[in-house]
Amino acid sequence: MPVGLLYSIGFIIALVLAIAMTPLVKKFAFKVGAIDKPNHRKVHTRIMPRLGGLAIYIAFVGAFFLLSPFIPDGLLRPQDSNMINALLVGGTMIIILGAFDDRFELSAKVKLLGQIAAACVVVFVFDVKIDLLNIPFGETMQPIAGWISIPLTILWIVGVTNAINLIDGLDGLAAGVSGIAIATIVVMASLMGFQPVILLSTLLLGGIVGFLVFNFHPAKIFMGDSGSLFLGFSLATLSMLGFKQVTIVSFVTPLLIIGVPLFDTFFAIVRRWVNKKPIFAPDKGHLHHRLRDLGFSHRRTVLIIWGIAAIFGALAIVQSAVVQSSAANWITFAVICMLMFFLQIGAEVTGIVDKTRRPLINFLSRMRLRLKLDAESRSK
């Protein structure tokens, strides 16, 4: 069977499984009491079932085992099994943690410990670590000392896992952003010929798209922490290929793949620090909250953020494609500068950090006024 056809069939299997399983998971969520009640911080106004992540997980794992007998010999190397098993075992731990949280609302400390435990399984049991780093204006790939790679990998997995969890505030938002990130990884892995990541990402993408049928506004079910934590963990594990596997990806690329949740988390930390609030205190200052406050509808807000995620994904693909060129370092530097500029502009326009402080916009306005006055004086 051609490899392309194999992956297409896997995507369809995961898609169909997600569509079939989500209504069953919805009934199960109501039966066990895994529900989300409205409050002052939430957008929905009625009781909603959670546990939607369970449908994505079942679709992903089910499609993998259904497809496994048809994977041709030689497509996956023996060492590739480590990455596959790391995602399957660690992902199972995370989905169990998230499911218990959807039902019993676990404390932040318990969830953090569970995430660290899953990350430790990835690192210590399956030996999947960030051990190479491409640094602009340096050698092609810089080795990372063993003792540093361990905490760096754990921090990456836990950080990305929580970043997806934090943006899960509107119907279809986290699932869509995760789907775009996974699609980006599929494209990049295809360009690199990295078969295990293509396989896993394609199946996961099928599960996400199938779930979105029921999760896009107006949602019939929420993914809950079971979904956001599982997708975050999966993204963290799969995006590590940008650090680990090949020399054509710089350190910027994995950050771009999941740019929306990472930068939303960064701005949340800055916002709470500026306002002298606890870092982990929930608030209504995230990007989706601010866009709603600016008057955008529920659907339009989600579509805008999907668009931003798609731009990040396109930049990641371009970055990975050009990073071996002679101008790679300067291209990386230009991408970083451009991102910093537009992120600051976006933060000031939306008020994601502070609704009143707009230093860069005010500076640009003053410069524009000065140039206008200079032009008028010269014309006289």
DSSP classification of residue 51? -
Q: Binding residue per annotation — 165? A: yes
Coil, strand or helix: which one is 48? strand
Residue 266 CB neighbour total at 10 angstroms:
15
Question: With a threshold of 0.85, does the pTM exceed it?
Answer: yes
Known binding residue 39? Answer is no
User: Angle at CA 166, nearest 5°, toward 164 and 169?
Assistant: 100
Residue 123 is classified by DSSP as: I
Radius of gyration of the chain (CA): 22
User: Measured between alpha carbons, how far is 21 from 308 in angstroms, rounded to an integer?
Assistant: 30
Q: How many domains does the chain have?
A: 1
Q: Residue-wise pLDDT tens for the chain (380 aa)?
A: 688 899 999 999 999 999 999 999 999 999 999 998 876 656 656 889 999 999 999 999 999 999 999 988 888 877 788 889 999 999 999 999 999 999 999 998 999 999 999 999 999 999 888 765 555 444 445 555 567 888 988 999 999 999 898 888 899 999 999 999 999 999 988 888 888 889 999 999 999 999 999 999 899 999 999 999 999 999 999 887 645 544 334 557 777 888 899 889 888 888 888 888 887 777 788 898 899 989 999 999 999 999 999 999 998 888 777 665 556 667 777 777 888 888 889 988 988 888 888 888 888 889 888 888 888 787 76
Rounded to whole angstroms, the Cα distance separating 275 from 271 reads 6
H-helix or E-strand spanning residue 36: strand 35-36
- Structure confidence at residue 249 (pLDDT): 45
Report the alpha-carbon distance of residue 71 to residue 65 in Å, rounded. Answer: 10
Domain with 99 in it? 3-379
d(CA 141, CA 10): 34
Closest CA to 94 of 75, 107, 111, 69: 111
CA–CA distance, 94 with 89 (Å, rounded to integer): 9
Residue-wise pLDDT tens digits, 90-101: 999 999 999 999
Listed residue (137, 58, 44, 124) closest to 331, CA to CA: 137
